[in-house]
Amino acid sequence: MMNNRYLRVFLKIFSAIISIGAFLLIWHIATNGTKLGELMPGPIELISSLIKSTYTNIGKYTIIGHILFSLSRVLIAFTVGGVIGILLGTAMGWYKTAEAIFRPFYEMIRPIPPIAWISLAILWFGLGEIMKYFVIFLAAFSIITYNAFAGAQAVDPVLIGAAKMLGAKDSRIFRSIVFPSAVPYIFAGLHTAISASWATVVAAEMVRASEGAGWLIIQGMEMNNMIQILIGIIAIGIVGLLLSIIMRGVEAKLCAWSKSGK
């Protein structure tokens, strides 16, 4: 049985190597000997440039520096948007007064894509960091609020009754019943929101920045440097994947009690 399991894992890794290898090989042949080479760098050239970019600057920073710039923009705005979204969403889901006051505004803002705010944000906040934070904040906030709201509304009324019978008052019910039962919903929102924030930072940096993953791409286009564009795209993909893996790890810890934590 043990052997069987090792064999399966080995086959999985082996087939992954084969399929990626075949892709790289076709790419290599296609770009080295056909006209496609003028539009697209080959895989060897790209990978060696990617490695080289980790220790030589593109613009002012190495690729790692650019990623860290983008990442810090995302994390700051995402955290603020997350905290406000979770509080507002669960409050709207549980307290009728909060829903009556905030929901109409929220519903007006929610369908607007965050990128649509960029022009206004530039006029309000200038071209600096605040403009980027604002747009990313909107992206994260509107998704997280909605999920937290849905989670708080979906709380099992029998559990509320049980808590009341055990003597819990309103604020304790909110903290220890409504909030935890919304946590799996909130995590679904955080997953979507981190991707949306990551997409939004790239857009914001494309409009105006002098560093970051979005800047790499836009700068690459202006300089007609395809390798730089592709390095930017790959970096965005890798970081997005890492963020979602980290998020899943946190979720597994916090939701150990539910099916989604398994």
**Closest distance to another protein from the beta carbon of 158 (Å):** 5
Residues in contact with 215: Cβ distance below 8 Å, sequence separation at least 6, in sequence order = 59, 66, 205, 206, 209
Q: Could you say which of 1, 158, 222, 224 contacts another protein (CB under 8 A)?
A: 158
Helix axes 43-52, 2-31, angle to 10 degrees: 100
What is d(CA 60, CA 146) in angstroms, rounded to the nearest whole number? 39
| Nearest residue (CB) to another protein, 158 versus 245 | 158
Taking Cα atoms as reference points, which of 136, 145, 258 lies closest to residue 204?
Answer: 136
Cα-trace Rg, the chain: 23
Residues 171-190 that bind another protein (CB under 8 A): 172, 176-177, 180-181, 183
Cβ-based nearer residue to another protein, 5 or 169 = 169
Number of H helices, E strands in the chain: 11, 0
Closer to another protein by Cβ: residue 5 or 259: 259
Q: Among the candidate windows 26-34, 78-86, 94-102, 250-258, which touches another protein by CB under 8 A?
A: 250-258
Q: Burial, 195: exposed, middle or buried (Cβ in 10 Å; 0-12, 13-18, 19+)?
A: middle
CB closer to another protein, 8 vs 172: 172
Site string for another protein, 228-247 (x = CB under 8 A): --------------------
Residue 34 carries which side chain, given as an amino acid letter?
A: T
Quick one: 111 or 167, whose CB is closer to another protein?
Answer: 167
- Residue numbers at the binding site for another protein (CB under 8 A): 156, 158-159, 161-169, 172, 176-177, 180-181, 183, 256-259
